[in-house]
């Protein structure tokens, strides 16, 4: 019975440690992709972009829309 309790204690300790390690690895990978300006992040499932930095002057951001570039002097719909 004591061996079973030790395995339960080991499992109860290992699972949270694994979850934290996995979250750290995901955060590290996200930081790396952001540093490399990975454009595929905009289309990634489960990832919501809430802030965009270093966009060209005059850029208008529309949520849930495809990116379309138009000349500044052209009339907008």
| DSSP-derived secondary structure for 13-72 | HHHHHHHHHHHHHHHHHHHHHHHTT-GGGGG-TT-------SPPTT----TT-------T
Does a structural domain hold residue 15?
Answer: yes
User: Model-level pTM?
Assistant: 0.54
- Looking at the 3D structure of the chain, how many domains does it have? 1
Distance, in Å, from the CA atom of 12 to the CA atom of 8, rounded to the nearest integer, reads 6
What are 35-68's pLDDT values in tens digits? 888 888 878 888 777 777 777 777 776 666 666 6
* Confidence at residue 17, expressed as pLDDT on a 0 to 100 scale: 95
- The whole domain housing 10 covers 2-43
* Confidence at residue 41, expressed as pLDDT on a 0 to 100 scale: 83
Does a structural domain hold residue 74?
Answer: no
């Amino acid at each position: 019975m004591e061996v079973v309790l030790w395995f339960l204690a080991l499992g109860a300790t290992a699972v949270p440690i694994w979850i934290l390690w996995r979250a750290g690895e995901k955060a590290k990978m996200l930081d790396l992709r952001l540093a490399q300006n990975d454009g595929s992040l905009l289309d990634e499932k489960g990832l919501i972009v809430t802030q965009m930095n270093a966009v060209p002057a005059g850029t208008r951001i529309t949520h849930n829309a495809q990116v379309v570039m138009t000349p500044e002097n052209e009339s907008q719909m």
